[in-house]
Structure 1
Amino acid sequence: MLKKPGSAEWAAILDAFDHLSALSSGREEAIAAMELLPEVEAGVRAMLATSEHSGVLDRPVALPEMGPTFDYASLAPDMIVGSFRVERLIGRGGSGEVYLAHRMRGDFDQRAALKMLRPEAASRFHRFEDERRMLGGLEHPGIARLIDGGIAPDGRPYMVLEYVEGSEITAWCAAERADLSTRLQLFLQLCDAVRYAHAQLIVHRDLKPGNILVDRTGRARLLDFGIAMLIDPLAFDRTATRALATPCYAAPEQLNGGKLSVATDIYSLGAVLYELLSGHDPWRFGEDDLWQTMLRRMLHEEPPAPSATAQDPNVTRTQIAGDLDAIVGKAMRRSPADRYTSVDALADDIRRHQALQPVAALSGSRAYRVRRLIRRNRWSLGAAAIITLVLLAGVGGTAWQARMAAEERDVARSEAARLEAVNQAMMQVFRDARDPARIKKMSATDLIDGTANRLAQSLPPESAESASIVAALADLHLMVENRSGARSLIEAAMARGIGRNDPPGAARLKLKLATVLVADRRFDEARRLLEAVDRFWQTDPRRFRREHVEAIGARAFMLRLEGKRDEGIALLMANMAEAERAYAGYDRDLATRYTNLVTHLSEAGRPDEALVIVRRGQAVLAGNEQQYSNGALNLMRLEAGLATRQGDLGAAAALLSKVVAERRARAGRSTALAVDLLRYARLLNLQGQPRKALQLLDEALPISAEHIGPETPATLLIELARADALSDLGRVENAERLLAAVLTRLEAQQPIDTTHAVSLLTRARLALVRRNVAGARAAMLGARSRFAQLGAAASVYHQDMKAMDDRLSRAVRTR
């Protein structure tokens, strides 16, 4: 029995066939002179026999029987190559061998993949060097990194690559029973790696599941650039790089000698996606398939839709049909010009599918099918039939565009109604604000509370606009952190029947109420509301995509408060692409989503990932010319918080200084400015600059009292920070009086929140100033206990706790 050919044997078969098919005589002598491997010779003979009959590739010729192979290793275990010790052979291809190896350092154990040129492939030395040079220029988390390279003692070149422990992507998906969402996320990671390679002018040319591993972290990693090609034609001689990709995933131009380009990789990506969706390769080649049949299908046909042949139990045919069928079909079209123009375009279509938006592949699929039908039957179809087909394709496209325009019009009308509701609510608030008798000694919270309740009571329940106005009024409550006001307002409105003639408006009210209930930790009630609105959003997913994204955010918030932070983070990360598309043009909402995800990651002790999201949000907002919007400044404030927790107080101070300056200039006396001033002043206290901190706090206090309320946590935290600054300035009695006043107001507040814990830190600070070490220690124990009860939400005070612990330790040593 003969070995079934692999990629190297396929290359040899086609090269030999090209040469021999041009000979009119002397083929047997030429075959003998070539000294072909038995499986290569058998394959060449089968192709030659087929080509001699009319109707090339139509006459069945059986493949020779294939038997087992016996690979050898040219390096023995424990051999030394460079600074690496060989452990064992882990792979063998057409021209190379790959060994598992370890770096030879006493205090540093690094596993690596050592790739050697096989002894019998010495003629491919320059190709091996090309691969090493290309890998040396690639730095991407989705591509195995080049570590080292050189010439082995026996004169062969070698390269050392990052060793990726993992499973082939299709095997991993099967073993993990991965759902459709997980598979698409892995595919998007793969697309990002290929896109990066293309940006470096490199076409991979052998994309297949065997070259894509999923590592221990669940990330897709791209391997083996052994037959990659530089897009730059002057980089090196292409005639030395005619190795063939694995046929099942190879583009037609790789099989027929056509021009290779980025479209070649796009075809292979489509084939990989096909297998991820359906559970098998696009052509379903088996052991009994005939070579000529395989080649004919790949060169002259297109694969069936993956939904038609799907057999993976974890992805249903219904999930694949439609968008994903069209996306795979466009990526795998025989003509490179008919495929996606770039990997980005392919990835964008996947994201559009995830975001429930119309995919580009469908917009041209009907016209594409009509063109193919006309090409196939151009002599049998009459002119009238061709014109009819073209008109039908045009009418279909126009109907689709009209339907999309109607849907966008409905969304626009809904948004216009919502904005008009906001305008009405704000106008009422401003009318009340012009009445001096009403605003005297009233905070913004009180003003909004009275105005909102009065306006809500006047709204007619049967009006379709009433629900939108109530939602806008609830947003005003939430803007000044008055959750109880928002909850009472929505519950009273719903009890009056507001929204009964406006199902979308009623669903939005329920979603807003669910968000408030989550913040109040009334999870069961919130969960019931979220389940109800989710069912409603599914009645028209495209129209309600923003609401669906908001519901995802509420669920993630609930998971965070339930202590399931990693689940909440996973939910937000999986939904990020959909959120970016749903919130396109709504930068405030988009910035809020970034802010929420950064907060989740930060509290989970994942600062590096949090910083990546900060940078991503800043880049998106800057691209929309919103780099100094409130949302962007909030992200900058979070970036400062990350720097503080990492101990880089200087970087944090520089960021907060910029945030405060921009907020003053753009928002004036606002809630956000009060919060920024507090954060910056706390940091200055940590840095030993109490005088400057006190100046900022004196600015923040009246703003917070006016815009948020004098008894709110934000205002009380500002007063506690003032007490800290006064203490460090030696104005101890003033600080003690201020602390006592805050504690009196806190006694009436339940439940215990961050303010109670921070007040104990201030008490410890004052005790140390009075040289009362025992009192300071007791206060610190209390603070630690309170912060522990608060969980991850208290992580922003980590540096404050550390600073007070250091002070207490110094006081104990100097007693």
Structure 2
Amino acid sequence: MAQEESVENQSMATQLPEELLAKLREANESNADSGFNIASNFSDRYELGLVLGEGGAGRVIAAYDKNVRRRVAIKFIRSDKASEIALRYFLKEAKITGQLQHPHIIPLYELGMTENEEIYYVMKLVQGVTLDEILEGIRIGDKDMIERFPLPSLMKIFRRVCEAVSYAHAKGVVHLDLKPDNILVGYLGDVQVTDWGLARLRRGMEDMSELELVDIDEDVDFIIDSEKEKVIGTPAFMSPEQAIGNSDLVGTRSDVYALGGILYKILTLRAPANGKTTTAVLRRKLNEKIKHPLLYSEEAVGDNPDNVKLIHLPNCRVPRSLAAICMKALDEKLIERYQKVGDLMRDVEVYMAGYIPDADKGAGLNRHFSQFIYRNQKSIVLVLISIFAVLTSIIILLLLIQYTK
């Protein structure tokens, strides 16, 4: 949510260290393909407004583009985080986001440097809330959030996120920091996946299908060469292979795991792993089994403040099929997970259509029959009404015949 703070064009105070500025000037002057060269004229084009948020190396500010008369969001690199690695991440995020053109990936309009030598990029301004804010609102009993976002609406949001991530994978990009806080939901229902700062190109494109795909430009590729930078992502949602820093195993299935974590929070209103510190979260993730979502249906009562009633779910209970999909995506073994986001998305769509998904292999005949009733309930009601009408007509006819006799 926007903080009540405005920013003047000439007082950003986000200048980079002199050595980085020297690199940028040299790259711009020489036109060398170093990954640093960028050029733009900020001038009087943008009128800056409220600070929308800050975190990591970036600070996002609402602005008005005077040239085309539209509201935008501008992300600046923060001076207190402006190391060379932070700058590389910032530029990589801009270049990758700029090439991922999808309805559910926030579009980027411009990358440049102001007259004050502040690095920025301009993107679409999405007026809304994050999925994390939606789920937290439901958790604390916000009536507006509960009414606006029942489970079917949340699953539509989740499916759109899957579509965006599947598209990115087809372009050879893995996100590596998928979480509810990086999903924006606009007031008109549009969904945007944001924060591609940790994204990587798939090494060697090993998972490419036989389809002809368009690759991201080579200058976007960035190999982390520092041991301490190997563990990247948000601990509560990152995959086990990310948690141990195994870069050889990190890939598209790591994003599948994170999507499973997002679905887990949609169902239970909790992250798959919690802890007071990052170390505690990572230790729990690596040494403990994730609590099955179905168990939360049984614990949504009592005096424990963590026992939250799942008011957004049918009968306040986690649907078995969705729990099965969630746990398959969250399997610690890569081979047991969904191998592609498309496979996860297909199971979700099967569930939303009223069928039993492949992940829920243990479903008995009674559940299949229940799902049959659920997906055909309108037709069944119409048939019952028709039968009732026919029987009523027969009875009336018989009574009339009896009366005439």
- Is the structural similarity TM-score above 0.5? yes
Q: 1:250 aligns with which of 218, 238, 245?
A: 238
Counterpart residue number, 2:294? 307
1:239 aligns with 2:208: no
**In 2, Cα distance between the equivalents of 1:140 and 1:553?**
41
- 1:298 deviates by 0.7
1:211 aligns with 2:182: yes
Counterpart residue number, 1:186? 157
SS at match of 2:369: coil
Counterpart residue number, 1:344? 342
Is the 8 Å Cα contact of residues 356 and 541 (structure 1) preserved in structure 2?
no
Is the 8 Å Cα contact of residues 100 and 112 (structure 1) preserved in structure 2?
yes
- 1:76 deviates by 4.1
1:118 aligns with 2:78: yes
Letter in 2 for 1:171: E
The 10-residue stretch of structure 1 (174-183 or 133-142) with the greater mean CA deviation from structure 2: 174-183
**In 1, Cα distance between the equivalents of 2:150 and 2:133?**
13
Counterpart residue number, 2:42? 81
Q: Would the alpha carbon gap of residues 318 and 359 (structure 1) be closer, same or farther in structure 2, given more than 3 Å must change?
A: farther
Render the CA deviation track for 1:768-805: whole Å, top value 9, x for unaligned.
Answer: xxxxxxxxxxxxxxxxxxxxxxxxxxxxxxxxxxxxxx
SS at match of 1:111: strand
Q: 2:354 aligns with which of 337, 353, 356?
A: 356
Is the 8 Å Cα contact of residues 73 and 123 (structure 2) preserved in structure 1?
yes
**In 2, Cα distance between the equivalents of 1:145 and 1:552?**
46
**In 1, Cα distance between the equivalents of 2:245 and 2:311?**
38
Q: Which runs of 5+ in 2 are unaligned?
A: 11-40, 139-143, 206-217, 298-307, 384-405
Bigger relative contact order, structure 1 or 2 (CA pairs below 8 A, ≥6 apart): 2
Render the CA deviation track for 1:213-271: whole Å, top value 9, x for unaligned.
Answer: 11011232211111111114594232157472121111111111112111111111111
**In 1, Cα distance between the equivalents of 2:343 and 2:379?**
27
Is the 8 Å Cα contact of residues 53 and 61 (structure 2) preserved in structure 1?
yes
SS at match of 2:295: helix
SS at match of 1:186: helix
Is the 8 Å Cα contact of residues 239 and 258 (structure 2) preserved in structure 1?
yes
- 1:309 deviates by 2.4
- 1:326 deviates by 1.1
1:162 aligns with 2:162: no
Render the CA deviation track for 1:463-515: whole Å, top value 9, x for unaligned.
Answer: xxxxxxxxxxxxxxxxxxxxxxxxxxxxxxxxxxxxxxxxxxxxxxxxxxxxx
Render the CA deviation track for 1:19-39: whole Å, top value 9, x for unaligned.
Answer: xxxxxxxxxxxxxxxxxxxxx
Is the 8 Å Cα contact of residues 231 and 243 (structure 2) preserved in structure 1?
no
Rg larger in 1 or in 2?
1
- 1:549 deviates by 6.8
- 1:284 deviates by 3.7
Q: Give runs of aligned pairs for residues 106-505 of structure 1, distance below 5 A.
A: 108-120=68-80, 121-124=82-85, 125-172=87-134, 174=138, 175-177=144-146, 178-233=149-204, 235=218, 236-239=221-224, 242=230, 244-258=232-246, 259-285=249-275, 289=276, 292-309=279-296, 311=308, 312-316=310-314, 319-363=317-361
Letter in 1 for 2:253: A
- 1:542 deviates by 4.5
SS at match of 1:92: strand
Letter in 1 for 2:284: R
**In 1, Cα distance between the equivalents of 2:293 and 2:274?**
11
- 1:543 deviates by 4.5
TM-score normalised by L of structure 1? 0.35
Is the 8 Å Cα contact of residues 256 and 341 (structure 2) preserved in structure 1?
yes
Aligned-pair identity in percent equals: 26
Counterpart residue number, 1:654? none
Letter in 2 for 1:331: A
SS at match of 1:333: coil
Is the 8 Å Cα contact of residues 254 and 260 (structure 1) preserved in structure 2?
yes
Bigger share in strand: 2
Q: Would the alpha carbon gap of residues 549 and 231 (structure 1) be closer, same or farther in structure 2, given more than 3 Å must change?
A: farther
**In 1, Cα distance between the equivalents of 2:8 and 2:97?**
26
**In 2, Cα distance between the equivalents of 1:164 and 1:141?**
12
Letter in 1 for 2:251: S
**In 1, Cα distance between the equivalents of 2:381 and 2:273?**
39
TM-score normalised by L of structure 2? 0.68
Render the CA deviation track for 1:527-575: whole Å, top value 9, x for unaligned.
Answer: xxxxxxxxxxx99344467744757999xxxxxxxxxxxxxxxxxxxxx
**In 2, Cα distance between the equivalents of 1:154 and 1:282?**
44
**In 2, Cα distance between the equivalents of 1:313 and 1:199?**
37
Counterpart residue number, 1:101? 63
SS at match of 1:257: coil
Letter in 1 for 2:111: G
**In 2, Cα distance between the equivalents of 1:182 and 1:300?**
34
Is the 8 Å Cα contact of residues 351 and 357 (structure 2) preserved in structure 1?
yes
Q: 2:369 aligns with which of 516, 540, 548?
A: 540
SS at match of 2:224: helix
Is the 8 Å Cα contact of residues 174 and 201 (structure 2) preserved in structure 1?
yes
SS at match of 1:239: coil
SS at match of 1:305: coil
- 1:110 deviates by 1.2
Is the 8 Å Cα contact of residues 356 and 368 (structure 2) preserved in structure 1?
no
**In 2, Cα distance between the equivalents of 1:278 and 1:345?**
22
Letter in 1 for 2:242: Q
> What is the root-mean-square deviation in Å for CA atoms of aligned residues?
3.1
Q: Would the alpha carbon gap of residues 189 and 290 (structure 1) be closer, same or farther in structure 2, given more than 3 Å must change?
A: closer
SS at match of 1:97: strand
Render the CA deviation track for 1:398-438: whole Å, top value 9, x for unaligned.
Answer: xx7xx77xx9xxxxxxxxxxxxxxxxxxxxxxxxxxxxxxx
Q: Which runs of 5+ in 1 are unaligned?
A: 1-70, 367-399, 408-537, 555-815
Bigger share in helix: 1
Q: Would the alpha carbon gap of residues 154 and 551 (structure 1) be closer, same or farther in structure 2, given more than 3 Å must change?
A: farther
Counterpart residue number, 1:674? none
SS at match of 2:164: helix
The 10-residue stretch of structure 1 (274-283 or 227-236) with the greater mean CA deviation from structure 2: 227-236
Q: Would the alpha carbon gap of residues 551 and 77 (structure 1) be closer, same or farther in structure 2, given more than 3 Å must change?
A: farther
Is the 8 Å Cα contact of residues 48 and 64 (structure 2) preserved in structure 1?
yes
Letter in 2 for 1:340: Y
- 1:141 deviates by 1.4
SS at match of 1:140: coil
- 1:194 deviates by 1.1
Is the 8 Å Cα contact of residues 354 and 372 (structure 2) preserved in structure 1?
no
SS at match of 2:110: strand
